[in-house]
Structure 1
Amino acid sequence: MTTTITEPPGRTERAATTTAKTPRRATSARRRGDRRFVAACLLPALALFLLFMIWPTLNVFRMSLYTWSGFSPQMRFVGLDNFAKLLDDEQFLRAFQNTVALLVVVTVVTMGLGLGLAALMTRQKLPGRNLYRFLLYIPNVLSVVVIAAIFSAVYDQENGLINGTLRALSLDGLQQVWLGDQKLVLYSVAFAMLWQSLGYYMVIYMASMASIPEELYEASALDGASAGRQFFAVTLPLIWETLRTTLTFFILSAINLSFVLVRAMTGGGPDGASDVLLNYMYQQAYTNSSYGYGMAIGVVVFAFSFFVSLLVSRATRRPPLQY
């Protein structure tokens, strides 16, 4: 006689459900542990970002509404008066014009030469191109202060490289006071900015161009496209996203670069001819003891940088190309 043991109704289903829920609970617990770990890793960086980036930026906006010498404990709230004074400040307007001029000229020349040299190094079999790339990249390795010292020596009126070379070639009439002439000083600073930045962006564009399949150039060559046509029809569209990124990055970094070079080479002179926004802000906040007024200039720099970045991003937007 055979005895059959029958499970109580529902016990089998409950056991299967419990078994299915166990891996889910383990997975959920693992995910919570991963989130805690990621949060623990991000928290120090986030705290430093808030402490040294967000709070100082907000403090600049707050201090722009006050009149304060920077040393006295007395602060007086003046609202938007500091910004109203900027509109009547001729030196501020001059510094703003110089900043815009440097951004436009140096950005156009740097991006244009960087693209041209990158295409030349990548598409043409130049002898010693690795040496050229190395020599062009060296300035980016040097400190900006070192570059300012180098060009201060190069532009020296008596013993500088340029005037010394002109004197040796009996071209004394072409000698100039490169950092003392109001008509030339801004171009002298612009050339130093170009020399410092060109190699870096050339290398970035070379890396981007090297990833373009050779078959695209071969196909365009079979269609009769010249080297120039290939650059504008093949190379430029396929590295457009890289160009957009570097363009925005250069504009933002050029604002800081111009300040360091101007501060170290000319101090804004002669007679404010080479002054830029950040240098004028520094003078007002830390030299003329007009800290609130200087912070108002800082707010203008912040808004200007944000507006230019947004404008460039919108103006250069296009559907990405894939290959």
Structure 2
Amino acid sequence: MTQFYHRPVLLEEAVAHLVTGAGVYVDATLGGGGHSFQILNRLKETGHLDRSLLIGIDKDRSAIQAASGRLEGFGQHVLLTEGSFAELDAIVHSATGPDGAPLDRIRGMLFDLGVSSHQIDRPERGFSFQRQGPLDMRMSIASGRLESSLSAGHVVNEYDEAELARIFFEYGEEHRSRQIAKKIVETRRQKSIETTGELAEVIRRCTLRNPVEQTKTLARVFQAIRIEVNGELSELSDALEQAYNLLEPGGRIVVISYHSLEDRVVKTFFKEHAEEDWGPKGVPLKEPLRRATMKLITKKPLLPGEEETRENTRARSAKMRVAEKI
């Protein structure tokens, strides 16, 4: 079995909120299969597994291989697909349930966003400023080959100064975005920036000597580049809309996010569907122009407890939101 280390965050909480009965459940960010394994166990414990299917999606083939070994005991109740969760509609409609019937509805969908521990810990993937590796950051791997044409190296060495500053500010919320973009362009005129270490050194020259501040800035800039390379925010918006359209009444969407940009997308989407539209103020209406089609199960995001954040540093920034289709 392929080794794919990833420690699921908010595992018990996510599964408890997601599983509400028999049906089709989608783990949109399969990783090593930790959440999927728990979802299937919960369905088995509650007597719903025979009438249920778990669809696991991941861009990374090594994740699919690892999860297939972990979940093989659940047989026909598992369908693993290599791809993007932005392709959810096509993935669901091309599948069949345990009874052989085509699928057109799902009971629940789980997103555990961000980069897996396995990806961060592999220097050759280029996600971490703490490990020397090529400037890559592409999440999609097939047969050992990175499929996406856009890499972190292309962004860093080919984007103009204004575009670099924009993504650092918009996707990293970095207040030194212009200064860092300028320094990158100046540096690459002499020699292209090829590794995570070289990029980190350029960024450090634009920050205070305080190690804590340097680390925060590095994290924000690397996050911004990763989001740009993988189109993460647009894919999330597309996937949420598709999940909503596929969700049956009473079904739930559970999202675990790790930074404010992701959380804002999720919060806005849930809020738009959970609020009624009564039109302009001062115009009396007997009925709303648009009724709420979802209800918020979590009014405020659920956060990991002290024990989990102590044992798993990745959990510190996690927020979980849950909404149910009416």
Greater RCO (Cα-Cα under 8 Å, separation 6 or more): 1
TM tier relative to shorter chain: under 0.3
Instruction: Give the structure with the higher percent strand.
Output: 2
TM-score (norm 2): 0.27
TM-score (norm 1): 0.27
